[in-house]
Structure 1
Amino acid sequence: MNATASTTLLIADDDPAHLLLTEAALAGAGFLVHTASDGEEAVRRYAEVRPDFVVLDVNMPKLTGIDACREIRKLATSRHVPILMLTGRNDLPAISEAYAAGASDFAQKGINPRLLVERVRFLLRDRDLQEELRSSRSKLLLAQRIARVGHWEIAADGRTLHVSPMLGELLGVDPGSLQRYEDFVALLDEADREDARKAFVTCATGNGRFGLDHRIARADGAVISVHQEAELIEGASVAGASVVIVTLQDLTRLHRAEETVRLLSYFDTVSGLPNRRHLSEQIAHALKEPAGAAATAVVAFRVHSYDRIVQARGSDFANKLVVQLARLVGLELERISHGGTILWRTDLPSVCRTADGELAILLRSRVSAEHVATVSHAVLESVSSHASGPDVDYVPALSAGVALADGATTDAEQLVANAHSAAELAKDPRGCAFFSPLPQAQLRRRLVLESSLRNAVERRDLTLVYQPRVAIETYALTGVECTSRWKHPQFGTIRPEEFLAIAEEAGIVDDLGRWMLDDACRQLAGWHERYEDTFFAAIRVSGRQLRDPRLAANVQAAIERYRLPANSIQIDLTEAAIIDAPDAAHAAIDGLRKAGVRIGLDDFGTGHSSLGQIRRVPFNSMKLDRALMADLYTDPWAQGVTAAVLAMARAMQIRSVADGIDDAETLEMLRALGCDEVQGKHVAPPMKPLDFEDWLERGGARHLARQRYREAESARDLSASEVDDIMKWANS
């Protein structure tokens, strides 16, 4: 699109012929032309059409061209509109007056029309360039205002050539007062002035640019941080001389933002105390320094009952309490440092808050590692002594955990974590514990085991073993106890007590229990069919499993899946499991009893043993705790307790079972006391399915009967026929 076609011109001339000629020339060039025959009409028509360009004849009736120019310039919209005056030849006074009135340029009246068109086009181009310049300048000033930057043009001898308004605003002075660079130097701190002078001289003589940072106290009392950059520009002045361009940027807001970020990064936002990151950096610096102190350690102080304090008094009170404790710890360490035995900086905040209820410090002793413990105890005692002060509301107990840095320690964060772990071990108020890697190794091992245990069943890392239970009089097999075994690929064989406890805490004991139940039922169904025997399988359940409302249904489903008699499965449980959730436990037991499943009481005789539980639950069997079997043969007290328990079981018609029978003497003692069934290594150890089958096919526990009667034969004189009868029975 032709830009000329959208450009509007206004021509004013009282000579109709000249007006017509001028109009024709400009319209022919593509301009949209409006005309006026005198000065008054020109002013009026300007307001109506708001042209982009004005051509005025100097000599017109009613209002001269110069007066008309002056009136048009009074209008706000005409500020940047080019006005071309047409004058007579050599009318110099009129030309001067026209410029004074606001004319942009002049031409002689009767100029060649083609030259007039080019003159108009030139002035319009100049107008556009001026507009671009004004826009750029406006944008520059806006950018400087936003960025808080001012610039200054200075001659090599230090005289001011130009100064931006923004620079005066930054410094809080009138820009006109900055006549020389030295006027700026006078605003600086006295310590910075000489450096600024030398830097300017170096730059002005062509020896390199410079950058300096300053703090300036303004006249209004505000203190600002500015950055000064200067560079020599060759031939930049109108006269071609070199000019030093200086820029000043106000960095006050940036520095405030950086300080805010620093506070958020290195200080606790609630209490204002240094945080864990602050402490870690202190430790990192200390570890890099040459070994000067006898011992470097991190001491963590744990606030006892912090959670209860928050619940009782609120978080605001608890936070103020932590600040108070940090002050007390700091005061005591400052007092100790006066003796020269520890390195303690009083010029920096050094008591850090590393957790909600925990403070920690970097402690460097000049004496020994043992001295670190001495200092820690002194701090604990000092804080404790303030608890009895007349103006003290409440001072909680503290305990301390110490993590010493050895020669190979380079990880500051690990040192803080070690101190935290040690503080957790210091359970007693005013107690102090040193970090040991053993608990950490145990924790890591437990985490690995928990992770592995979740997939152990699927990978078939877990297996079931079976330990026979036999009648004490006939040694006939009555049942097998199923227990799980786990061979971990990294740690080898894991004790059942360990991984079952992990399964309980991790919430995967239910999955483990369902696998045990299914595998035991599958194996038992195969043995019933193969050996035409109906012994049962006992499976122990935990308190968590007993609280599962689906327990009875899961057991019944497994029994039906493998077509087993209901009484071929026995669920063993402890009194502790029942006491933990009595309602859920009794509901589960009722469901199992209705399904025909046997119920066994495990580990009776110690712990929570209670006659009330036995009376309320119809148990099929009662297994005596292994602890009673340890010294049964030699300990009269154990014999008395065992006899009483067995007598009670007979009175309540509950089968009694003794576990942990490792020798013949204990077995004979139990026989004399009236026990019904036994299991243990003397009978048979826990066995894998193939080993159990081999044991069963070799006669099971009948070898014990043969051994017993051989001993009896040697003890009394039996006839040959009696011995033959006994041996025939034992071998049947």
Structure 2
Amino acid sequence: MTKSFMERNEVLRILIVEDVPVDAELMVLQLKDDGLIFDWQRVQNEEDFLQALDTRPDLILTDWCLPQFSGLKVLELLHNRDNDIPVVVVSGSIGEEIAIDALQKGAFDYVLKDRPARLGAAIRHALEEKELRDERKRYLEKLRLADQVFESTGEGIIVTDIDANIVAVNPAFEQITGYTKIEVLGKNPSILKSNHQDRSFFFELWNTLLGTGHWRGEVWNRRKNGEVYPEWLTISAVKNSEGTTTHFVGVFNDISSVKEAQAQLDFLAHHDALTRLPNRTLFRDRLEHALIHAQRENKNLAVLFLDLDRFKTINDTLGHPVGDDLLKQAADRMQQAIRADDTLARLGGDEFVLLLEDDSTAHHAVIVAHKLLQIFNRPMFIEDHTLTVTASIGIALFPQDGKDVDTLLKHADLAMYQAKQQGRNTYQFFSSGLTTGAFERLIMENALRGAVARNELLLYYQPQINLIDRTLAGVEALVRWQHAELGIVSPGQFIPLAEDMGIIAEIGEWVLNEAVRQMAEWQAEGFDVPRVSVNLSMQQIDREDLAGQVSAALERMSIPAKHLELEVTESMIMRQPDQAMRILDNLRQQGILLSIDDFGTGYSSLAYLKNLPLDRLKIDQSFVQDIGRDEHGEAIVRVIIALARNLGLEAVAEGVESEEQAQFLEREGCNIAQGYLFAHPMPADELIRQSDRYRYSGEKAN
């Protein structure tokens, strides 16, 4: 409750209207005796009174009869100026009839001069009455304003009681939904339901609303005429003075046109109208984000600047329509030749630029450049013309050729011009020495080819820990290459090369068989490993016989399917989603567990994700590393955990390096984790030697 004027101990500003100075002094002495804190001034005529009003007094004490002025005139002037200052009449000769008239004209009280002891109480009473009246006016104004907003706002408003019966709607509700107030009063808001959201959606909505008092999100509803539309809805609980919820208020907008317009504007703002590829603006944005990620994760990336050779001659000779069709065909061919995670953009004219992420090295850039040059070897058929076009490509690498967007683009452009000077239909690196170095890297292909046959591959295993009791929940099998000269080579160095060489399926099959064999060996030795996780490659997920290959590996070692988990990435699934879903269904029918690896780092469709036969979502370590240092990263982790929970999946966190991260994940509902906090990847025999570390029950590991 707001404190009263007297409780706030503020200095009271008093205006005394009195022609006898002694009487004014007596009033002041009485007020001081009453303990009031105040400043005062005296006036005795209308002109001085009006001027004194500019000082904004808090209270007026006035005699009723003055030679040049009167208390009645004071009240009239205040009324005419709509000035609501409390007035107390202090007079020596005021009868009962005059006193009543003074109160009716707006005076708060009156005090006889021969009874000054009552003056302090009268002033306090006048100030309290004034504050009550002001509070009432503010309350009525709020009600008036609220009613005006309710009736005139363009947002639909629906009010229900605690049992979800509609008790009020506004005109905007009627306009948006097509229902009149009479048709909906007393009914449940479910009459608007479109069935585009399932029961679990509304279950979560009510859980959130009852738990926090608020819910906000997008809902698909149905108008009276049957049309389904999207709306942005905010629901709030209304509580009484005792904190008990009495009503719910929903405020919503029809966002159909907004969504359509935004989608169109977003596309036009970020894509080339001719080829439908990303434009310069979108490419720069993606490159900026890719650089931030690469810097944070200490990874490489490449930018390829491509220009069609002699395009201007074709455009000028055969006309712009032919030139436009040539650009569209060239864009389509290049788009089909690159990975789903790579970004191809048209900068303008016949200039294209390609961003290679996923730790792309000089060697990988060479492979892609060769692919791009080869796709132009096939002629293009446009109208009655058969055209063969070549391209010149410039390559710039992060971090050695630049650490920002403008530098990388400039250096890739310079390298492209160098390629044209070399005779066109070729590529050049910005640093010429790398052109030779990229070919030298091809020597590594010969060493990798046949590594399986020569038994140079081996598996390391990283424990997956149950955060609740710190027991062993499983292990992830991670392949290593034991090179005769280089020693142990990590997957990040040779897996991309194996993919480009087309031998990743062979390596993947070896990893699968070796992991299953090791599981059988552990079981024979009495070492209980709940499950082993194996990463699938792009080439493996494309094979129709994958389910049979996995089944054979399990049968050969007599390992139940529940002990094997296969991990795929979002990009692998989204490349050919229907085929991937069919293959994953076949695996799931065998009882094999399936998970999405590095979730949140690729491009996925939730429409497909919700239908996939999955068991787990693995949170990428780049998000886990943000815990404790980036609230946006933490928010992403919470969203992924919530998404997994809503889809009935188990969340697994990768790259956990601190107890703070582990505790955060456990609090948020992610109970399985792996990372250096628990153990580095290790050989199978080392895992057995350290097995006692993962048999805690009911207590946290130190």
- The TM-score bracket by the shorter chain reads 0.3 to 0.5
Q: With CA pairs under 8 Å and 6+ residues apart, which has the higher RCO, 1 or 2? A: 2
Q: Which has the higher helix share?
A: 1
Task: Find the structure with the greater CA-based Rg.
Answer: 1
For normalisation by structure 1, the TM-score amounts to: 0.39
